[in-house]
């Protein structure tokens, strides 16, 4: 069974890429969100970007072919995959082209979609959902502006030791709104549906656990009262009890698994659970 996380990534990777301007905007966000390689550049005047996410690199190749920069560089030939197929893949771009791409667009949802693919993540633990985007200080300013205009509330914090800033979204409605803005309404609707199902299951589990605990507690109390009833007979105290208490003791011995409510209904005349509890208190006090 596929998880909602996998389905989100599939929907992101398969998002339409046949409108040049939208592809250029998304490419700009994606390139801007990819981390820079550490160390010296592969060649003078070159910028190296790295990623361990193969779907992101496939998406970049797909977008690039429809972007305004396709005629300036064949992106596929500038992607370096480690020979042992381990570690991060590197994308080498001329510095001037990188600057053009990274500074293109901004502050629109096509750009945000590319940014999320490059530096975002979605998590679905047992309870709740949350999204995380890690970006540079300057990019976070642009993203914050977009979120405010859309009414999306997220928490920002410093990401150590990278020095970047992390945007964390935990509210379901904020997550759904952001996904919808980026072009993923189906996943947003699924999250809302799954959230309702999770809530129902959680409530059912709580009620079941509560019922189990109550049954265990009731059986323990019944066993304790049964033992007390037997001792009252053995100690000769039973014959000295008032009629209502003698009747209660006899009923307990006859119904060792009955709850206090059930015992109260068997008495003549029937009494409430609180009355039965009070009478057992009087019987317990006889041994103290």
pLDDT at residue 30, as a whole number = 95
Contact (Cβ atoms closer than 8 angstroms) between residue 183 and residue 15: yes
Asked whether residue 222 carries a pLDDT value surpassing 70, the answer given is: yes
- Best CA proximity match to 103, nearest among 20, 49, 31: 31
- pLDDT band at 21, cuts 50/70/90? very high
CA 69 to chain centre: 38
pLDDT at residue 202, as a whole number = 64
Percent of the chain at pLDDT > 90 equals: 31
pLDDT at residue 114, as a whole number = 95
pLDDT at residue 28, as a whole number = 95
Asked whether residue 40 carries a pLDDT value surpassing 80, the answer given is: no
pLDDT at residue 205, as a whole number = 67
Domains of the chain, first to last: 4-183 (3.10.28.10), 214-285 (no CATH)
- pLDDT band at 31, cuts 50/70/90? very high
pLDDT at residue 133, as a whole number = 93
- pLDDT band at 112, cuts 50/70/90? very high
pLDDT at residue 44, as a whole number = 84
pLDDT at residue 64, as a whole number = 95
- pLDDT band at 258, cuts 50/70/90? confident
Cα 175 to Cα 188: distance, rounded to the nearest angstrom:
8
- pLDDT band at 26, cuts 50/70/90? very high
pLDDT at residue 105, as a whole number = 72
pLDDT at residue 116, as a whole number = 94
pLDDT at residue 85, as a whole number = 59
pLDDT at residue 195, as a whole number = 62
Asked whether residue 60 carries a pLDDT value surpassing 90, the answer given is: yes
Q: Is 159 left (phi over 0), alpha (psi -120 to 50) or beta?
A: beta
- Best CA proximity match to 102, nearest among 48, 26, 44, 29: 29
Burial (CB count <10 Å: 0-12, 13-18, 19+), residue 249: buried
Mean pLDDT is lowest, of 9-23, 195-209, 251-265, for: 195-209
Q: E-assigned strands of the chain?
A: 46-51, 79-80, 89-94, 120-123, 130-135, 155-159, 164-169
Give how far Cα 106 sits from Cα of 17, 24, 29, 114, 260, Å. Answer: 18, 11, 7, 10, 69
pLDDT of 183-204, one tens digit each? 988 887 788 777 655 665 666 6
Sheet containing strand 155-159, strands side by side = 120-123, 130-135, 164-169, 155-159
Asked whether residue 1 carries a pLDDT value surpassing 60, the answer given is: no
The listed range with the strongest mean pLDDT (100-104, 128-132, 160-164, 209-213) is: 100-104
The gap between the terminal CA atoms of the chain, to the nearest Å, is: 61
Contact (Cβ atoms closer than 8 angstroms) between residue 93 and residue 72: no
pLDDT at residue 237, as a whole number = 86
What average pLDDT does the segment 153-162 reach? 84
What average pLDDT does the segment 61-82 reach? 90
């Amino acid at each position: 069974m596929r998880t909602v996380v996998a389905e989100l990534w599939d929907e992101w990777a398969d998002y339409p890429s046949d409108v040049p301007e939208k592809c250029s905007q998304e490419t700009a966000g994606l390139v801007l969100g990819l981390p820079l390689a550490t160390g010296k550049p592969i060649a003078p005047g070159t910028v190296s970007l790295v990623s361990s996410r193969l779907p992101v690199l496939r998406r970049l190749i797909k977008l690039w072919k429809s972007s305004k920069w396709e005629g300036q560089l064949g992106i596929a030939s500038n992607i370096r995959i480690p020979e042992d197929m381990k570690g991060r893949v590197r994308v080498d771009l001329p510095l001037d082209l990188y600057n053009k791409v990274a500074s293109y667009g901004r502050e629109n949802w096509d750009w945000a979609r590319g940014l999320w693919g490059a530096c975002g993540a979605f998590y679905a633990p047992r309870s709740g959902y949350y999204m995380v985007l890690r970006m540079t200080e300057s990019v976070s300013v642009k993203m914050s502006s977009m979120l405010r205009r859309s009414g999306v509330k997220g928490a920002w914090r410093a990401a150590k030791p990278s020095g970047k800033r992390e945007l964390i979204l935990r509210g379901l409605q904020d997550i759904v709104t952001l996904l919808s803005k980026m072009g993923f309404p189906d996943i947003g609707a699924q999250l809302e549906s799954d959230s309702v199902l999770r809530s129902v299951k959680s409530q059912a589990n709580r009620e079941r656990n509560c019922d189990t605990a109550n049954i265990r507690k009731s059986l323990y109390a019944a066993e304790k009262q049964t033992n007390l009833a037997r001792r009252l007979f053995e100690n000769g105290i039973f014959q000295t009890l008032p009629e209502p208490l003698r009747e209660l003791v006899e009923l307990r011995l006859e119904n060792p698994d009955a709850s206090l409510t059930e015992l109260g209904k068997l008495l003549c005349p029937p009494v409430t659970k609180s009355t039965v509890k009070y009478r057992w208190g009087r019987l317990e006090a006889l041994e103290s």
